[in-house]
Amino acid sequence: MQSVVVVESPAKAKTINKYLGSGYTVLASYGHIRDLPSKDGSVKPDQDFALEWEMDVKSNKRVKDIADALKDADRLILATDPDREGEAISWHVLEALKNRKVLKGKDVQRVTFNAITKDSVKAAMAAPRDIDMELVDAYLARRALDYLVGFSLSPVLWRKLPGSRSAGRVQSVALRIIVDREVEIEKFKPQEYWSVDAILANSAKESFPARLSAFDGKKLKRLDIPDQTMAHAARDAVKKGDFKVSAVEAKPTKRNPPPPFTTSTLQQEAARKLGFSASRTMQVAQRLYEGVDIGGETVGLITYMRTDGVSMDEGAMREIRTAIGSRFGNEYVPDSPRKYASKIKNAQEAHEAIRPTDPQRFPDRMRLDGDQAKLYDLIWKRAVASQMEAASIERTSVDFVEPTGKVELRATGQVILFDGFLKLYQEGRDDEEDEENRRLPQMKQGERVDVREVKADQHFTEPPPRFSEASLVKKLEELGIGRPSTYAAILEKLRERNYVTMDKNRFIPDDRGRLVTAFLENFFRKYVEYDFTADLEEQLDQVSSGDLPWKKLMATFWKDFHAAIEDIGDLRITQVLDTLNEVLGPHIFPAKEDGSDPRLCPLCGVGQLSLRLGKYGAFVGCSNYNGDPPCKFTRPLAPAEGAESAIPSEGQEIGEGPTGPITLKSGRFGPYLEMPNGDDKPKRAGLPKGWTPESITLDRARALMSLPRQVGMHPSENEMILAGIGRYGPYLQMGKMYASLASVEDVFEIQMNRAVAVIDEKKAGGGKGRFGRAAPAAIKEFAESPVTGKPVKVLNGRYGPYIADGETNANVPKDKKPEDVTFEEALQLLAARAEAGGGKKKKKAPAKKAAAEKPKKEAAPKKAAAKKASAKKAAKKT
């Protein structure tokens, strides 16, 4: 019997084909083959939510290949992933083949496997089933909901809030979480408090720290010492005190390991420990799941990575317990396997936790590339640790009191008696301090202690931290918003839309994001409520479990949502502006330290500043714009930190540029430079992030106006490498490929050696470039740089060996062999290179070159236009 097996990816197809042998033809669908067209009417609520699907040219060819293969086959086996999306892909393939009428007389089977190993695949083939239509219905409901929200709400945003990009069912709620946290931070008022700490010594002269726990007969909480007066009084009382031990309490406790990873917890931990984004984590996990070449055989190293379950196959638990015994000793193996249950409501998609397919494949014995090695190590350790013995910890507290009983001190400590799972793995934390692990010396009740040192320290309460990827995913999961397979896409979409920026791996809402959130909260509040979105997720889970028909869910949702869209049709722009001016006032017009009116125009000194909407988005303008004379002051929504700079409306001339005077001007999107450009429109360049109008010198202005800067020809690709600044920040460009640079200064200073390395690393990283070659192999690799936090490597570049720390490159001296470079020497060379920088001479030459060549590039369109005009004239005569 000949069978055609359909999977999602060519990598998965290649691996499975080796397992199944000659009786099977394994083909890839390359993900979804159909989708709703990006146009109005793809979902038809008035036709019982009929869906109009579309297939592109590539998908049509893949379906044709599957159909052609079926001509000589007896059976179609749909072997896509074991979750909702996998079920939907199988359903789409089946529907497309039915439309081609190629399934007559063919046996159609659906199989799923949680790991791509020979045993798992063959076991799945022996247990086929039908397509799970309840999971397909859940997919249809989600897809239809997301489409209707996007295609109904986004046009409202475009009309009422120009410059906005889009709104989404879950995306908008995630954005609201980020904005709400930022507002909370802005409203936060620090509170002063003091702590009093002492160094004590017991009768054996062993010293240890203690903290004031009671003063003047009152037990103290964290904020109970509000000022210096009370703190110094308490400090002096401790200095004079004659303290004795009043109580000793030792509590033994057990600390159990965390469960193995789900999709969400993997994304959180990879963000904390590896600095991976959610999308990067899922891409690497996908490669580990689909298979890695080991000794000539392609093997899946982990189980399926989109799951919200924490349970583990009993056979896998036995294998892990065996690996623990052989690696760490039998004392680390608990008496019975540990079984975990998910705390998440309606946990379903793929039920088993993420784990290694073979725990005997120890990470330190595997030869994997950088990202794969790091993520596999994390997954292996977490899964193995989840089956290890608990850690035994003793927590000790000792109280001390002086004779009057009005002043008390307390010392605390803990000691690990048996490390258990902590020998292998400790879970990361978000915005918390680790517990101190210190042992207190032996003391007994009534023992006298000496006060060796006392200090009073001032502190201030801090606002809640901004969300990192890890803490935002955790928050979304806690609120029941989104599902494991959607988190990476949600976060990526917010960045793509420029609704947020990232600073030190934390989300900061952009002004555009704050505007959209304020608009939705005031005019579509129900649809960005946390509870509403979570309730809708629960209903979608009911669809997947067969408890709710998907079209009934859609009808209920659409009735209210459509009415809300209709109601807002008559909303005037002035109403939107009035509301946003009030809601965003504290952010747009923050109070000034001198108490003056924050809305008073800094240019004319008469008009009032307010929010205005233009073709390209919102900006702040002066109410006196129709005055006599009119005031043309504008600025972006949020003023830059520091005093507001009032650039004259006609601009401020900086000096002479290559094609005329360079003028500094102020626009609705902030300050910018302008320079004549022959007969064409003037050339303009906005000031990069971190550059203030006051910092603009003639050299800086000329360098900025000359961008993009030509760095040089790539030695092997024979294409020019350019450095420039775009909407997403500083970049390198070669052809159609772009690679980000760390800072604006790099645009002007980067030289060929490092530029080629950055481009080659981008190509090797599997990004959106056109190439896929390997990155230069490291000759030598050291520990992380104390400056960048990234590994220091000695690499072999196009122009000889060099040292890199992720941000700076330094050539290896000619009299030194690259393999003989020490870590200390590498750090010294990097520091010297960073200090030397790129000098002014290196900035100017490329700038002049680029400026000189610019007119040549722009002459081409004029010649083409002249030819076209000539051709038209000739045709007219004829």
Structural tokens at position 306: 């989109």
Q: What is the pLDDT of residues 529-578, one digit of tens each?
A: 988 888 998 898 899 888 999 999 999 999 999 988 888 877 888 888 88
Whole-number pLDDT of residue 631: 86
Rounded Cα gap, residues 272 and 277, in angstroms: 10
State the DSSP code for 202. -
Average pLDDT, the chain: 84
Beta bridge partners of 653: 663
Measure the CA–CA gap between 423 and 876, rounded to whole angstroms: 86
Strand, coil or helix: 200: strand
CA 3/CA 5 separation, integer angstroms:
6
Q: What is the pLDDT of residue 572?
A: 83
Per-residue pLDDT, 863: 44
Number of neighbouring beta carbons within 10 Å of residue 676: 15
Position 849 pLDDT exceeds 80: no
Report which of 139, 140, 59 is spatially closest to residue 100, judged by C-alpha positions.
59
Does the pLDDT value for residue 150 go beyond 90? no
One-letter amino acid of 492:
E
d(CA 752, CA 756): 6
In angstroms, the CA 2 to CA 70 distance is: 9
What pLDDT is stored for residue 666 in this prediction?
Answer: 77
CA distance readout (Å), 107 to 98, 110, 133, 192, 605: 13, 10, 18, 74, 81
Which pLDDT does position 486 carry in this prediction? 81
871 vs 695, more confident = 695
Asked if the model's pLDDT at residue 726 lies above 50, the reply is yes
Question: Nearest-CA neighbor of 513 among 116, 70, 183?
Answer: 183
Query: From its phi and psi, is residue 254 left (phi > 0), alpha (psi between -120 and 50) or beta?
Result: beta
Average pLDDT on 101-127 reads: 91
| Residues 530, 173 contacting (CB under 8 angstroms) | yes
Instruction: Please check whether residue 465 is in contact with residue 184, taking contact to mean a CB–CB distance below 8 angstroms.
Output: no
pLDDT of 11-26, one tens digit each? 888 889 888 888 899 9
CB atoms within 10 A of CB 395: 14
Name the token pair of 375: 């993520």
Token pair of 565, please?
């869209």
Segment 59-77 shows an average pLDDT of 93
CB 268 within 8 A of CB 470: yes
Per-residue pLDDT at 868 exceeds 70 = no
Question: What pLDDT score was predicted for residue 99?
Answer: 92
**Span 794-815, pLDDT tens digits:** 887 766 788 988 888 888 887 7
- pLDDT at res. 43: 93
* Structure-block tokens of residue 175: 């954005």
Question: What is the reported pLDDT for 227?
Answer: 95
Question: Of 182, 324, 191, 342, nearest to 261 (Cα)?
Answer: 342
Tell me, what DSSP letter sits at residue 770? Answer: S
pLDDT number for residue 635: 79
Distance between CA atoms of residues 265 and 464, nearest Å:
22
**What per-residue confidence (pLDDT) applies to 837?**
62
437 versus 612: which is more confidently predicted?
612
Nearest C-alpha neighbor of 393 from the set 361, 418, 373, 410? 418
Task: Encode pLDDT of 651-684 as tens digits.
Answer: 778 888 888 889 888 776 778 899 988 777 888 8
Residues assigned a catalytic role: 304
pLDDT tens-digit profile of 182-194? 999 988 999 999 9
Place of tokens 């460009």: 733
Residue-wise pLDDT for 569-578, tens only, equals 778 888 888 8
* Cis-peptide into 658, omega within 30 deg: no
Q: Distance (Å, rounded) from C-alpha 303 to C-alpha 630?
A: 67
Q: Calculate the alpha carbon distances from 349 to 312, 480, 545 in Å.
A: 15, 15, 10
What phi, psi does 512 have (nearest 5°)? Answer: -65, -40
pLDDT at 402 over 90: yes
Mean pLDDT of 633-654: 63
CB 625 within 8 A of CB 595: no
Buried b / exposed e over 277-304, threshold 16 CB at 10 Å, is: bbbbbbebbbbbbbbbeeeeebbbbbbb
Residue keyed to tokens 């990598």: 11
- Check pLDDT > 70 for residue 644: no
Q: What is d(CA 412, CA 421) in angstroms, rounded to the nearest whole number? A: 24
pLDDT of residue 455 exceeding 80, the answer is: yes
Better-scored residue on pLDDT, 813 or 334: 334
Quick one: tokens of 201? 């010594």
The whole-number pLDDT of residue 480 equals 86
| Span 287-308, pLDDT tens digits | 899 888 877 778 899 999 988 8
Integer CA distances (angstroms), 620 to 264, 538, 592, in order:
40, 42, 17
